[in-house]
Amino acid sequence: MTNLVLYRKYRPQNFFDVVGQEHIIKTLTNAITSGMISHAYLFDGPRGTGKTTVARLLSKAINCQDLKGSEPCNKCSSCLEITNNQSMDLIEIDAASHRGIDDIRELREGIKFAPSKLKYKVFIVDECHQLSKDASNALLKTLEEPPAHAIFILATTEIHKMIPTIISRCQRFNFRKLTIEEIIQRLEKIIKAEKVKIEKAALELIAIYSSGSIRDAESLLDQVLTFSNDSQKEIKAEDIKNILGLVEVEAISQLIDLIFQKKSSQAINFLNDVLEKGIDVSELIKAIVNYLRQGLILKITDVQENQSSIITGLTKEEFQNLKKQVAGLSDQQIQKILNSFLEASGKIKYSPIPQLPIELAIIESIEYLG
């Protein structure tokens, strides 16, 4: 393995390799094939879903000297320069640290000059919602009268913070969170290339805790591979839990049992015992919410253990136990309990006592049980 982090080492170099986002890839590749290139694009969606990757691929494709349909050849000098971050005509700006009017004025001055080598001068502005009001207005003027050789690709995780007039000047593409199965398929390709052995349940855990972000999933996998230096040994789900500090399903199951049995004092004591072992409060609430969510799905559907791509990360015994736990509750009760813990997860960051929102959620959940 090289010293490059996995998400950089295996960053897609062709549209074909991009995980998910099929609707976006199809539209962009059709535009490239037909030569209908816009002067401004806006990519919005959660972090780690491929916005910057697709922006770089689009930059490469429209500048490729030997385009293969809609795919960049990755062999010509233009492709190689972009791949190796050596192109003078591909300018990437992080709006989080370059958000002022002077930065945009400098960009506007640079736009006036033709590309030094490529066909188009491409400006990728990441986290563009963080631009100041003056900077946003200056960018708007540039988007209203762009030179023919300039293309803008704006990326944001918070589209609601952008001024509507900028949005209206761009072709907008909404990136979605990836499914667990899509992330697992991507991770399987990486571990095959890295020649390491990881069981499917371990990959499921990584996918679950990445929350739909392929970049986070690859970073977690990177962390796992760094800690596990025995390439001959298969990495198990248990190893993932230990390495990443994830919460045992068994512990969550015991806590839920105590709640469903209306044993409030034992449940709160058990919660604090778990936290004293060094488990992170945020990881714990995430695990509780995920467990209850799967319980709700089991309650309202007739899904079987070996048929679901939604119920993941559970052994056969854990699956059957969860099914028994929710059997005696109504859909509404589970929904209310799940909502209590969801609300608690949003309060942890601001609570003077981190576990207090969870303790209150436990008490409130038991009240829902009557």
- The percent of the chain in helix, strand and coil, each rounded to the nearest 5, is 55, 10, 35
DSSP-derived 3-state class of residue 355: coil
Sequence spans of domains, the chain: 6-174, 180-244, 249-368
**What is the CATH code for 249-368?**
1.20.272.10
Which residue's structure tokens are 């762009």?
Answer: 146
- Residues 112-144 pLDDT 10s: 788 888 999 999 999 999 888 888 888 888 888
The pTM for the full model equals 0.75
For domain 180-244, is the CATH number 1.10.8.60?
yes
Q: How large is the average pLDDT for residues 198-202?
A: 87
Q: Is 180-244 in the same CATH topology as 6-174?
A: no
DSSP-derived 3-state class of residue 122: strand
What local confidence, expressed as pLDDT, does residue 131 receive? 87
Q: How large is the average pLDDT for residues 180-198?
A: 90
DSSP-derived 3-state class of residue 235: strand
- Which two three-digit tokens encode residue 253? 């199951």
What local confidence, expressed as pLDDT, does residue 139 receive? 85
CATH architecture of 6-174: 3-Layer(aba) Sandwich (3.40)
What local confidence, expressed as pLDDT, does residue 234 receive? 83
What local confidence, expressed as pLDDT, does residue 41 receive? 96
Say if CB 78 and CB 122 are below 8 A apart. no
More confident position, 45 or 113: 45
All residues at 6 or more sequence positions from 329 whose CB lies less than 8 Å from its CB, including other chains: 260, 299, 369
Comparing CA positions, the residue from 349, 325, 351 lying closest to residue 338 is 325
Q: In sequence order, what DSSP letters do the residues of 126-192 get, joined into one string?
A: ETGGGS-HHHHHHHHHHHHS--TTEEEEEEES-GGGS-HHHHHTSEEEEPPPPPHHHHHHHHHHHHH
